[in-house]
Amino acid sequence: MTTDAGEMSLTVDELAARAGVTVRTVRFYGSKGLLPPPVIGPRRVGRYGATHVARLALIEELQRQGMTLAAIERYLRQLPSDLSAYDLAIHRAVVASWAPDAVETVSRAELERRAGRELADEELARLKASGVLVAGEDEEDGFRVDSGLLRLGLELLDVPLSRGTILAAREVLMEHSRAAARELARLFRGEVAERDTRDVRDLSAHIHPLVVQALLTTFQRSLREELSELLGGGGSGRG
């Protein structure tokens, strides 16, 4: 499923399984221009990469928001055609921030269908550690899943990080996001103190996506700077 260079290389069946859709859906999106064409490899077999996976994830998120296919086409048409999988994931994160919390109960078989492969017990443990799912009293009762985090959790399974590191990272993110939320609420409290309830709700509906997008943008830049410094330092150390 990867090339010698480490790039993702999927057949249409593998792409559909990974995205949790049918092959027919993948081909339909391609015919509508929602997905770029695959790279044609040996034996005339189309190969799909990380950007196709990310685009499908974004399309799925837009559908969860209730957007029609025509609206999704307009949305994607406005995006640069050469966006990387990383940039598409940022777009999806912004879109997902508008969705209300959604918790559902799914079976292990359904989890594996959405993952596009069988999940080992260790992988289920990592999903629990990251807060993506909670097992019932009996596994046959299924798993309670945060739908907004499920795809992120499944993608994290492919990242070579230990369960302890993922759990520690989750605690760091939770601690600092709560602190940021408290400070922002304190700043906005004076602005809404004299308004009636309806005005406050309207203001909240406008502020929420804007604040989330601002947080994502600033965090993205800060993380890029930190990682550049880390990788740059590591590279100089090996020279």
How does pLDDT run across 166-198, given as a tens digit for each residue?
Answer: 777 777 877 877 787 788 777 777 666 666 666
The answer to whether residues 145 and 105 touch, using CB atoms and an 8 Å cutoff, is: yes
pLDDT at 155 over 60: yes
What is the C-alpha to C-alpha distance for residues 122 and 84, in angstroms, rounded to an integer? 30
User: What are the residues whose beta carbons fall under 8 Å from the beta carbon of 130, sequence distance 6 or more?
Assistant: 149, 153, 156, 166, 167, 170
Pairing of β 143-146 and β 103-106: antiparallel
pLDDT at residue 202 in the model: 62
Verdict on whether the full-model pTM lies above 0.75: no
The answer to whether residues 94 and 212 touch, using CB atoms and an 8 Å cutoff, is: yes
Share of the chain above pLDDT 70, in %: 73
pLDDT at residue 195 in the model: 64
Nearest in space to 85 (alpha carbons), one of 56, 61, 113: 56
pLDDT at residue 184 in the model: 76
CB atoms within 10 A of CB 132: 25
How far are the Cα atoms of 3, 20, 217 from residue 69, in angstroms, in the given order?
A: 33, 18, 27
Q: How many residues does the chain have?
A: 239
Q: Which two tokens stand for residue 172?
A: 């760091």
